[in-house]
């Protein structure tokens, strides 16, 4: 576990996980770009989530909706009216703050007088086409599309309650005070499920999702001792929510919200559908069409995961500099940007380089092992150090013995132990290791 966010920011910049956005133009406040390793790690998190919650269950289907939606969506959901934070301005230098978070003095000039708080809507407004006043908003959450498309999904998949719709995608909030690296950004990515149930089952479903969220955290290598469940009190919950839990994580800058789980009742579907959008199938299944064929509004349990926050929690959890001689990112092998690295012992011996190239090529035929790193710079010790730092679980070195007996060394990132393995067994050896990793 890392002890300061600066260490993570520095590693991310140095190794190409995350860069400051628009950097050569002086940057753009609070925007970040995921570099070559960052995009691999982020995709691995999203793919794992999709496999776990969509592909491996028959009660959840996926959706990928447009970022821009008809403004009536935000009118119906209440975002146009209510999705705002109180904004206060320093009377001396006009710096703007969230009124509920402002300290006793202005951070930029020390001024002590602020304007009265005004409500500031957090949605980004833009214009659709060339017509003035044809305003649209970038979505401030992915959830609404799952409600708006509810009937389309129902009609095309024949799912029956309980079932869920899952979506991964970007959302935008014009936060007054973003910060803490990629923790709070104005452009961010969410993984969300809207799980539709009958009202009487909400407590069981809520508990199911609470356990699923904890189990997911273990899957991505987050130690549950650093997770705290916060039961959000009624006065702080959204007015439609009957129960909300925040899953907080011990980030190096403090205990902060990582995920959320909410029971949203039938509030959302009622906002969007004048008539109940769902007809019960129970009666028909029992052979009695008069029984239970009522129309109703399903209730909703909503588990929400931040993608960027997941990635940050994964990096903080995996970061291990307890050994003075090396920095290791102890990522789960399924999340590691590279699964394997291949080196020739020396870059100056064509025989070794050619053999190592053929081993590299052999492994690239197995999609599960991709992408594979290649490194022939410096000495083997330096290459190990470099791969440890980005979390590559296995390093393969082709040496002189390889040319004689077709074996290579495989070095384990966490134990630093090396084993000799036959080239022809390499693929199955490493695949088994990755699949059996805890």
CA distances from 275 to 84, 157, 270, 278, 297 (A): 29, 20, 8, 9, 8
| Binding residues among 98-127 for Zn ion as defined by CB under 5 A | 106, 108-109, 111
CB of 113 to Zn ion, least distance (A): 9
Whichever of 99 and 410 has its CB closer to Zn ion, that residue is 99
CB of 234 to Zn ion, least distance (A): 36
CB of 116 to Zn ion, least distance (A): 16
Q: How far apart are CA 183 and CA 312, in angstroms?
A: 7
CB of 103 to Zn ion, least distance (A): 12
Structure tokens at 392: 């590559």
Whichever of 13 and 96 has its CB closer to Zn ion, that residue is 96
Told to check if 217 binds Zn ion by CB under 5 A, we report no
CB of 28 to Zn ion, least distance (A): 22
Nearest to 355 by CA among 312, 308, 386, 398: 398
Supply φ then ψ for residue 128, to 5 degrees: -95, 120
CB of 112 to Zn ion, least distance (A): 9
Task: Classify residue 248 as exposed, middle or buried by CB count within 10 Å of its CB (0-12, 13-18, 19+).
Answer: middle
Write the DSSP string, 355-400: HHHHHHHHHHT-GGG-SEEE--SS-HHHHHHHHHHHT--EEEEE-H
Whichever of 90 and 138 has its CB closer to Zn ion, that residue is 90
Whichever of 68 and 105 has its CB closer to Zn ion, that residue is 105
| Binding residues among 299-358 for Zn ion as defined by CB under 5 A | none
Q: How far apart are CA 389 and CA 278, in angstroms?
A: 52
Judge contact between 298 and 59, C-beta under 8 A.
Answer: no
Whichever of 92 and 210 has its CB closer to Zn ion, that residue is 92
Whichever of 98 and 242 has its CB closer to Zn ion, that residue is 98
List b or e across 175-190, with b for residues whose CB sees 16 or more CB atoms inside 10 angstroms: bbebebbbbbbbbbbb
Nearest to 180 by CA among 394, 396, 24, 32: 32
CB of 118 to Zn ion, least distance (A): 17
CB of 108 to Zn ion, least distance (A): 5
Whichever of 93 and 416 has its CB closer to Zn ion, that residue is 93
**Which DSSP category does 179 fall into?**
B
CB of 115 to Zn ion, least distance (A): 11
Pairing of strands 295-296, 125-127: unpaired
| Binding residues among 56-95 for Zn ion as defined by CB under 5 A | 90, 92-93, 95
Whichever of 12 and 106 has its CB closer to Zn ion, that residue is 106
How many residues form the binding site for Zn ion (CB under 5 A)? 8
Which residues does 278 contact at the CB level (< 8 Å), separation at least 6? 154, 161, 196, 295, 296, 297, 298
Whichever of 72 and 113 has its CB closer to Zn ion, that residue is 113
Task: Calculate Rg over the CA atoms of the chain.
Answer: 26
Binding footprint of Zn ion on the chain (CB under 5 A): 90, 92-93, 95, 106, 108-109, 111
């Amino acid at each position: 576990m890392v002890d300061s966010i600066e260490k993570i920011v520095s590693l991310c910049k140095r190794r190409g996980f995350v860069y400051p956005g628009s950097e050569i133009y002086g940057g753009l406040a609070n925007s970040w770009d995921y570099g070559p390793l960052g995009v691999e790690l982020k995709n691995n998190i999203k793919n794992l989530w999709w496999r776990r919650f969509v592909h491996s269950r028959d009660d959840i289907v996926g959706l990928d909706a447009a970022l821009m939606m008809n403004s009536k969506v935000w009118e119906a959901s209440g975002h146009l009216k209510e999705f705002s934070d109180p904004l206060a301005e320093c009377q001396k230098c006009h710096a703007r703050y969230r009124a509920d978070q402002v300290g006793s003095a202005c951070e930029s000039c020390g001024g002590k007088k602020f304007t009265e708080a005004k409500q500031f809507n957090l949605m980004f407004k833009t214009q659709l086409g060339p017509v003035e006043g044809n305003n649209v908003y970038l979505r401030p959450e992915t959830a609404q599309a799952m409600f708006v498309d509810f009937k389309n999904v129902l009609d095309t998949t024949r799912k029956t309650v309980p079932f869920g719709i899952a979506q991964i995608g970007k959302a935008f909030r014009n936060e007054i005070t973003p910060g803490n690296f990629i923790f709070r950004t104005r452009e961010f990515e969410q993984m969300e499920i809207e799980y539709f149930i009958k009202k009487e089952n909400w407590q069981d479903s809520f508990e199911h999702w609470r356990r699923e969220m904890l189990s997911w955290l273990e899957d991505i290598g987050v130690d549950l001792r650093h997770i705290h469940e916060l039961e959000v009190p009624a006065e702080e919950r959204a007015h439609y929510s009957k129960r909300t839990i925040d899953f907080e994580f011990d980030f190096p800058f403090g205990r902060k919200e990582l995920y959320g789980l909410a029971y949203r009742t039938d509030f959302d579907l009622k906002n969007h559908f004048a008539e109940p959008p769902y007809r019960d199938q129970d009666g028909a299944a029992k052979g009695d069409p008069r029984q239970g064929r009522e129309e109703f509004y399903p209730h909703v349990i909503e588990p929400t995961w931040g993608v960027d926050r997941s990635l940050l929690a994964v990096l903080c959890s995996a970061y291990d500099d307890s050994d003075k001689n090396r920095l290791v990112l102890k990522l789960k092998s399924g999340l590691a940007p590279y699964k394997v690295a291949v080196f020739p012992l020396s870059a100056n011996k064509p025989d070794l380089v050619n053999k190592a190239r053929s081993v590299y090529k052999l492994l690239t035929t197995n999609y599960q092992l991709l992408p594979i790193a290649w490194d022939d710079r410096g000495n083997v010790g330096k290459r190990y150090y470099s791969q440890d730092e980005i979390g590559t679980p296995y390093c393969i070195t082709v040496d002189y013995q390889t040319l004689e007996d077709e074996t290579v060394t495989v070095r384990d990132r966490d134990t630093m132990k090396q084993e000799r393995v036959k080239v022809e067994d390499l693929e199955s050896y490493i695949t088994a290791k990755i699949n059996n990793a805890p």
